[in-house]
């Protein structure tokens, strides 16, 4: 049987891309009618693999990014709900409870239901005050009709086999006029000049744009009251209100189809060019010797530098990663350290292998290693691409 588009239900999915090192054999398709980008097959009940951090599609078992979205969600919620009132909130994919804790602190009369299928991370929310923890997938959670004022769904919809059905269920459990807060990765990131890691990872089945996300929540019966911030290329954070009408996505959208195909083609060529430049980037880092070199960031960019650029981590005096350190002790043979190790090592050069958090890292590094010359990944890549073009 053909896979129908999740948004417009047409038999119009066309293969657009095959991700690097997918362990599930996923392929990426663009709906030729509405433009929603989706991965097939829709296997969303995979067995859990041990923690892996790679630049390829098999990445994704170490989840530490969601906590960084808490402040944005709270700020959006403050604009649309009264935090002093006795709010009933459903937190979908509550993860380690970052949103739950922050929200409960700010909303003294609120009650929260946290749904999290992964018992390893759900444990972080056990025993939270005014919280009912449901350890299950959202599709399996038993929730009453019109029971909630707010549904918060952060980086969950892109993982689901049937997100439209789940949004429709959020509609059912919300009181009339209730608020839906959705946050998902933004496919607009594919336009980035410095993209290096495989964006279409195995854990993501849907790849939304602002347009396709808004159409999907509309199809579930919501009215968008605050569209995603057009300047944020990494995330789509949307606020919608439960309304009486579901707008099924029957209209085609050729512009959206063209844009999705353009984004994927741009991504493929930019990423190939950047991966090829990594050999020159690795050579530049090696040329810093005999100065003492430390690197901050051992995640996906670092993995790409090693696997595609042939970088040898053994030459580093120090490899730092605040978040990964909680999950593993070494990366590609090099021991992982916390930022505080910078004080003892006092490197001459610090290479920052991060895109989203480089400014935070730089300001922390300046106090811990004031004498180190700081090299940013983005600049390193620019020089490497220039060297390669010459």
Tell me the residue ranges of DSSP E strands in 44-125.
Answer: 88-92, 111-115
In angstroms, what is the minimal distance from the CB of 32 to Zn ion? 8
Residue 218 touches Zn ion, criterion: CB under 5 A: no
Binding to Zn ion (CB under 5 A) within 190-209 occurs at none
Beta strand pairing call for 334-337 and 318-320 = parallel
Burial (Cβ within 10 Å: 0-12, 13-18, ≥19) of residue 388: middle
- Local structure of 310: helix, strand or coil: coil
Select the span of 7-15, 162-170, 224-232, 371-379 touching Zn ion (CB under 5 A): 7-15
Q: Does 7 bind Zn ion (CB under 5 A)?
A: yes
Does 101 bind Zn ion (CB under 5 A)? Our answer is no
Rounded to 5°, the CA angle 44-253-268 comes to 60
Within 10 Å of residue 326's Cβ, how many Cβ atoms?
A: 11
Nearest distance from residue 52's CB to Zn ion, in Å?
32
Q: Find the shortest distance in angstroms from Cβ 44 to Zn ion.
A: 19
Of residues 42-71, those binding Zn ion (CB under 5 A): none
Chosen residue from 26, 29, 33, 153 binding Zn ion by CB under 5 A = 33
- What does the angle CA 172 – CA 47 – CA 333 come to, to the nearest 5 degrees? 125
Interaction of residue 37 with Zn ion, rule CB under 5 A: no
Residues 105, 86: Cα–Cα separation, whole Å = 13
Q: Is there binding between residue 184 and Zn ion (CB under 5 A)?
A: no
- 83 vs 246 by CB, closer to Zn ion: 246
Query: Which of 5, 179, 187, 301: binder of Zn ion (CB under 5 A)?
Result: 5
Q: Which of residues 159-178 bind Zn ion (CB under 5 A)?
A: none
Show the tokens assigned to 149: 């004022």
Q: Stretches 30-38, 195-203, 302-310, 348-356: which one binds Zn ion (CB under 5 A)?
A: 30-38
Helices (H), 229-376: 254-286, 300-307, 341-345, 358-368
Q: Which residues contact 22 (CB under 8 A, 6 or more apart)?
A: 56, 57, 58, 202
Please count the residues of this chain forming the interface with Zn ion, following the rule CB under 5 A: 7
**Helix (H), strand (E), coil (C) string for 206-242:** EECCHHHHHHHHHHCCEEEEECCCCCCCCEEEEEEEE
Query: Closest distance between Zn ion and the C-beta of residue 29, in Å?
Result: 10
CB count in 10 Å sphere of residue 180: 27
d(CA 388, CA 78): 49
Q: Is residue 179 near Zn ion by the rule CB under 5 A? A: no
Binding region for Zn ion (CB under 5 A) out of 29-37, 228-236, 269-277, 321-329: 29-37
Exactly one of 26, 34, 112, 334 binds Zn ion (CB under 5 A); which one? Answer: 34
**Secondary structure of residue 49 in the 3-state scheme:** coil
Instruction: Decide: is 213 part of the binding site for Zn ion (CB under 5 A).
Output: no
CB of 35 to Zn ion, least distance (A): 7
**96 binds Zn ion per the rule CB under 5 A:** no
Question: Judged by CB under 5 A, which of 31, 151, 218, 301 binds Zn ion?
Answer: 31
Note whether 219 binds Zn ion by CB under 5 A. Answer: no
Q: With contact defined as beta carbons under 8 Å apart, do 201 and 19 qualify?
A: yes
What is the H or E stretch that residue 99 is in?
Answer: helix 98-106
Residues 240-269 that bind Zn ion (CB under 5 A): none
Instruction: Report the residue number, 38 or 192, with the smaller CB distance to Zn ion.
Output: 38
Q: Which range binds Zn ion by CB under 5 A, 23-31, 176-184, 211-219, 269-277?
A: 23-31
Shortest approach of Zn ion to residue 38 CB, angstroms? Answer: 8
Query: Residue 371's CB: how many other CB atoms inside 10 A?
Result: 9
- 145: tokens are 């009709």
Verify binding: residue 316, Zn ion, rule CB under 5 A.
no
Binding site for Zn ion (CB under 5 A): 5, 7-8, 31, 33-34, 36
């Amino acid at each position: 049987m053909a896979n129908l588009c999740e948004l417009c239900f047409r038999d119009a999915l066309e293969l657009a891309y095959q991700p690097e090192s997918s362990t599930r054999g996923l392929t990426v398709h663009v709906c030729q009618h509405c433009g929603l980008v989706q991965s097939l097959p829709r296997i969303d009940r995979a067995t859990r693999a041990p923690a892996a951090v790679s630049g390829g599609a098999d990445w994704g078992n170490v989840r530490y990014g969601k906590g960084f979205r808490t402040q944005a969600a709270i700020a959006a919620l403050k604009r649309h709900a009264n935090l002093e009132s006795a709010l009933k909130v459903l937190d979908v994919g509550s993860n380690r409870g970052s949103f739950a804790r922050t929200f409960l602190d700010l909303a003294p009369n609120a009650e929260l239901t946290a749904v999290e299928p992964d018992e390893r991370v759900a444990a972080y929310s056990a025993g939270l005050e005014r919280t009912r923890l449901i350890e299950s997938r959202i599709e399996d959670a038993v929730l009453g009709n019109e029971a909630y004022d707010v549904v918060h769904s952060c980086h969950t919809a892109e993982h689901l086999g049937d997100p439209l059905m789940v949004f429709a269920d959020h509609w059912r459990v919300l009181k009339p006029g209730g608020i839906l807060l959705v946050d998902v990765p933004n496919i607009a990131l594919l336009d980035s000049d410095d993209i290096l890691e495989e964006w279409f990872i195995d854990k993501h089945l849907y790849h939304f744009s602002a347009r396709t996300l808004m159409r999907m929540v509309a199809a579930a019966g919501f009215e968008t009251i605050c569209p995603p911030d057009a300047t944020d290329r990494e995330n789509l954070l949307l606020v919608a209100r439960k309304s009486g009408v579901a707008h099924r996505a029957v209209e085609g959208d050729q512009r959206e189809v063209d844009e999705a195909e353009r984004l994927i083609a741009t991504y493929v060529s930019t990423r190939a060019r950047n991966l090829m430049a990594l050999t020159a980037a690795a050579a530049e880092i090696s040329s810093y010797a005999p100065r003492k070199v430390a690197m901050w960031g051992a995640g996906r960019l670092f993995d790409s530098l090693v696997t595609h650029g042939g970088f040898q981590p053994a030459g580093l005096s120090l490899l730092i990663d605040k978040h990964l350190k909680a999950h593993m002790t070494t990366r590609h043979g090099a021991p992982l350290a916390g930022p505080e190790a910078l004080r003892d090592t006092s490197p001459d050069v610090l290479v920052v292998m991060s895109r989203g958090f480089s400014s935070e890292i730089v300001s922390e590094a300046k106090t811990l290693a004031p004498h180190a010359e700081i090299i940013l990944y983005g600049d390193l890549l620019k020089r490497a691409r220039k060297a390669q073009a010459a």
